[in-house]
Amino acid sequence: MNLTHPFLDADGDKLREECGIFGVIGTAEAAATTALGLHALQHRGQEACGIISWDGQQFFARRGLGHVAQVFSDAAIMAELPGAMASGHVRYSTTGGQGLRNVQPLHADLARGGFSIAHNGNISNAMTLKRELVEKGAIFQSTSDTEVIIHLIATSRYPTLLDRFVDALRMVEGAYSLICMTPKRMIACRDPLGIRPLVMGKIGEATVFASETVALDVVGAEFVREIEPGEIVEVRQDGRLTSHRPFGNLPARPCIFEHVYFSRPDSVMGGRSVYEVRRQIGAELAIEAPVEADLVVPVPDSGVPAAIGYAQQSGIPFGLGIIRSHYVGRTFIQPSDGARHADVKRKHNANRALVEGKRIVLIDDSIVRGTTSLKIVQMMRDAGAAEVHMRVASPPTSHSCFYGVDTPERHKLLAARMDVQEMTKFIVADSLAFVSIDGLYRAVGAPGREDGCPRHCDACFTGDYPTRLTDLVEREAEAGQLVLPVGKVA
Q: Is the peptide bond before 105 cis (omega within 30 degrees of 0)?
A: yes
Q: 192: burial class by Cβ within 10 Å (0-12, 13-18, 19+)?
A: buried
Rounded CA separation 37/218 (Å):
7
Cβ-proximal residues to 76 (8 Å cutoff; 6+ apart), any chain: none
Do residues 426 and 7 touch, judged by C-beta distance below 8 A? yes
* Cα–Cα distance, 267 to 330 (Å, whole number): 18
As a dihedral over the C-alpha atoms of residue 360, residue 439, residue 364, residue 399, rounded to 10 degrees, the angle is 130
Q: Clarify whether 49 is annotated catalytic.
A: no
Q: What is the DSSP letter of 384?
A: T
CA distance 88 to 38: 7
397 within 8 A of 413, measured Cβ to Cβ: yes
Residue 275 corresponds to which amino acid? Y
Side by side, the strands of the sheet bearing 359-364 are 295-298, 359-364, 387-392, 431-434
Exposure of 369 in the CB half-sphere (CA atoms within 13 A): 21
Q: Position 155: which residue type?
A: T
Q: What is the spatial distance between Cα 79 and Cα 31, in angstroms, rounded to a whole number?
A: 9
**Of 19, 180, 189, 401, catalytic:** 19
Alpha-carbon gap, residue 469 to 410, rounded angstroms: 15
208: nearest Cα among 62, 26, 40, 51: 26
Contact by Cβ (8 Å): 197, 189: no
Q: Which DSSP state fits 416?
A: H
Distance CA 124, CA 465 (A): 11
Indicate which residues carry an active-site annotation: 19
